[in-house]
Amino acid sequence: MELSGKVFAITGAGNGIAREVTLQLLAAGARVAGIDVNKAGLAETATLAGDQAAGLSTHVVNITDRTAVAALPAAIIEKHGQVDALLNVAGIIQPFVKINELDFAAIDRVMDVNLNGPINTVKAFLPELLKRPEAYILNVSSMGGYAPVPGQSIYGATKAGIKLMTEALHSELKGTNVHVTAIYPGAIATNIAQNSGMAMPANADEAASQFKMTSAKVAGEVILDAMRHNKYKAFIGSDAKMMDFLVRLMPERAANIIYKQMGSLLG
């Protein structure tokens, strides 16, 4: 897909990977409708865009609010005249505890943001995308969507759901003008815990040091490259690529490797 001149709706644009994708798309000549529940985060993204902020509109919307999401396509079309792509990047992690210790309020919140939110946006935007000469849906899953991380069981379940939904969408939309890509980030240097409102365990930095962190800038570059080449899927980081291989080749050993690296976070 040619990016210049297209209009991209991006969830989570107030921080992290989605912010970086927003800035890189603007630099590539695209226009962006940045969507986030965090008004201040969106304002900061607009500031970072500098002179290119003229191509950015900001929309303070909670993607778990189905009624508000349903109104987004019309609002974006009113602002930009069209909408050519939906990028579901927003996501949160759960408290780093075993499922037996995870309360239902935390479970429901992660399920709503990570799974129901993208379902809401896909349902809202797909009718408009099908009208465009060429369009795109890109959903960000996670290494945790195919590799089990202890203490992130519900998060992983939501990302596995995004993985399969995206693959099914790809099949359903064959023969149409809408391209579909799934993205699988590994460990990315963002503030996802802080943005999720989660306090990390005291030894989290020590556990994280075992992983090579990929920058948000590189993550954005991978996502733009995936769209330019209409890729079926793309991995961000050598850890995501390696674990995908190990999970398919020897799943129990892969699970044991992850447990050895991350299990200490559970006490």
155 is catalytic: yes
**Burial (CB count within 10 angstroms: exposed 0-12, middle 13-18, buried 19+), residue 115:** buried
Please answer whether residues 181 and 232 qualify as being in contact, where contact means their C-beta atoms are separated by less than 8 angstroms: yes
Strand partners, 185: 236
Alpha carbon 160 to its chain centroid, in Å, reads 13
Catalytic: which of 155, 184, 232, 259? 155
Report d(CA 122, CA 170) in Å as an integer: 12
Burial of 73 per CB tally in 10 Å (0-12, 13-18, 19+): buried
CA distance 153 to 149: 7
C-alpha torsion sign, points 189, 72, 144, 146 = negative
> Do 209 and 7 touch, CB atoms closer than 8 A?
no
Q: 222: which residues sit within 8 A by CB, 6+ positions away? A: 183, 234, 235, 236
Calculate the CA dihedral of residues 25, 30, 231, 135 and round it to 10 degrees: 140
Residue 32's nearest CA partner among 64, 63, 56 is 56
Annotated active-site positions, please? 155
